[in-house]
Structure 1
Amino acid sequence: MTPRRVPLLASLAVLLAAGCTATNHDGAAPAPTTAPGATTSAAATPAAPPTAPATTGAPPAAGDGRVTYGWAVPAVPARVAHRVLVPVTPAPGEPLPVLVQIQVGDHPAEGFSRISFAFRGPTPSYQVGYVSRVESDGGGEPVDLPGDAFLAVRFDPAQGHDSSGRSTAQAPLRAIGYPTLRGWAPAGDFEGYLSFGLGVRGGGARLPVRLSESTRPDGTHVVSVDVRRS
């Protein structure tokens, strides 16, 4: 993916819980289970900081994260809106929330796999939904992903590059290979929209997803996408 700068005239306006079976840990707590979201769009406010960092080897308390979309299969993309005033930092800083890390982890005991996006700056709005195929922003080329079902994830306003155009989230691991969550790929970073595709293996079914937010002690904001294990 070639980062592209946010136009100067833009007026609109990124990890998984400890205790995963993966070697990466995102500092985000496993979100509490709630009833399936009744709507696909909801206004949201930033999550409160956790009272303590996650402890390696055991999942942190469920209350450290805030569910923004309960376990459900979104018929249309589930959207969580945040009001972000831009620029979020004065020039020459980045004008939008910046993705700084992507991490994945499997939670077999809890029955889900997770991919997390950590952001410097305020939490952007985001939406997640199933699509027949993930396409790159702008050109519309299909994004190659493993699995038999696909989730499109989009953040706005947000960016995955700095003021020099360099990527801010170096994450070479894209093939995940968990029983359900199989892989991810970038799909766009243009004009304040930051997009990704997730490859899911559901045996021909669209599996329930859950969205949650948490804030690390360092102020980094984390948005997590959980996929139910089949």
Structure 2
Amino acid sequence: MTPQRVPLLASLVVLLAAAACTTGRDDAASAPSAAPAPSATTAGPAPASTAPAGTSSATPQPPVTPSQAAGDWRVTYGWAVPAAPARVTHTVTVPVTPAPGEPLPVLVQIQVGDHPSEGFSRITFAFRGPAPSYEIGYVSRVESDGSGAPVSLPGNAFLSVRFNPAQGHDSSGRSTVSAPARTIGYPTLRGWAPAGDFEGYLSFGLGVQTTGSRLPVRLAESTRPDGTHVVSVDVRRS
């Protein structure tokens, strides 16, 4: 009896199919996960220490995956209404550069943006040098550092934002900050204003429009390709 042979063409088809199954490659980039982040505590302002620059410490927060695909963008204080000032701590060696360099992290830019599809409005503070510590909290009114004079802001609720150690001026006292108009006019985030730049404390007020209850806020950080550190303050739109 003559042995049966598998047709050569059929064999080639099987081999090609197997090769196709084993050499496929998924080139789609996976979504970046949130980087380990410093997070907020409710401690009050603290002076800069002399630990190595760029280190940070804070209470761990629940992991959050940012919706932005923006490198190391990370949440440092998740959506909440802070009952007491929420503080994110970074340890900064002062001076950050030897004289005649800048002794503190320097604020170089403020930007604002509205994100209606994601339900929030944002103001960002960009610093040259290491990231400073910062805190945010609701206050009955924003006051100027030192004088205590009220800071005029639109809205019916007010947020105080403070950075330390940080400055917004150069060695000649000139402002280093590029900033938008102080009247923002978004549905809830209505405006901002400076409240102080003195002895390593850099302060701002945010004017918020609410319907009665204080709105949740969120804090986040990122680092630009040029090394600038950005702190984001997000306010819910409703």
TM over 0.5: yes
For residues 47-196 of structure 1, the aligned pairs below 5 Å read: 60-61=68-69, 64-196=72-204
Task: Work out the CA distance in 2 between the residues paired with 1:209 and 1:99.
Answer: 21
**2-structure distance, mates of 1:192, 1:207:** 29
Q: 2:218 aligns with which of 210, 213, 229?
A: 210
Matched with 2:42 is 40
Q: Report SS of the residue matched to 1:162.
A: coil
The letter of the residue matching 1:152 is S
Instruction: Write the letter of the residue equivalent to 1:43.
Output: S
Runs of 4+ in 1 over 2 A off after TM superposition: 37-45
Q: CA deviation at 1:85?
A: 0.2
The 1:213/1:44 distance shift into structure 2, 3 A limit, reads farther
How far 1:99 moved relative to its partner?
0.1
SS in 1 for 2:159: strand
- SS of 1:82's partner is strand
Distance 1:174 1:38, change over 3 A: closer
Amino acid in the other structure paired with 2:166: A
Q: Give 1:184 shift.
A: 0.1
Higher helix content, 1 or 2: 2
What percent of counterpart residues are identical? 82
- 1:73-109 CA-to-partner distances (Å, cap 9, x unmatched) read 0000000000000100111111000000000000000
Equivalent position amino acid for 1:223 in 2: V
Structure 1 gaps of 5+ residues are 1-30, 46-58
Q: Cα deviation per residue 1:120-154 (whole Å; 9 max; x = unaligned)?
A: 00000000000000000000000000001000000
Contact 2:40 2:76 (C-alpha < 8 Å) held by counterparts: no
- Inter-CA distance 225–67: structure 2 relative to 1 (3 Å threshold): same
TM-score (norm 1): 0.75
- What does residue 219 of structure 1 align with? 227
Rounded to whole Å, the distance in 2 between the matches of 1:133 and 1:219 is 34
Asked whether the 8 Å contact 2:71–2:222 carries over to 1, the reply is no
2:70 and 2:101 mapped to 1: Cα distance?
Answer: 35
Greater length-normalized contact order (CA 8 Å, ≥ 6 residues apart): 1
SS of match in other structure, 1:86: coil
The residue identity in structure 2 corresponding to 1:40 is T
- In the other structure, the counterpart of 2:29 is none
The answer to whether the 8 A contact 2:40-2:89 is kept is: no
* Counterpart-to-counterpart distance in 1, 2:70 and 2:176: 29
Mark the CA change 1:170 to 1:79 in structure 2 (over 3 Å): closer, same or farther.
same
Are 2:110 and 2:180, in contact at CA under 8 Å, matched by a contact in 1? no
Q: 1:205 Cα shift?
A: 1.5
What runs of 5+ residues in structure 2 fail to find an aligned partner? Answer: 1-32, 44-55, 60-66
| 2: CA distance, partners of 1:129 / 1:222 | 19
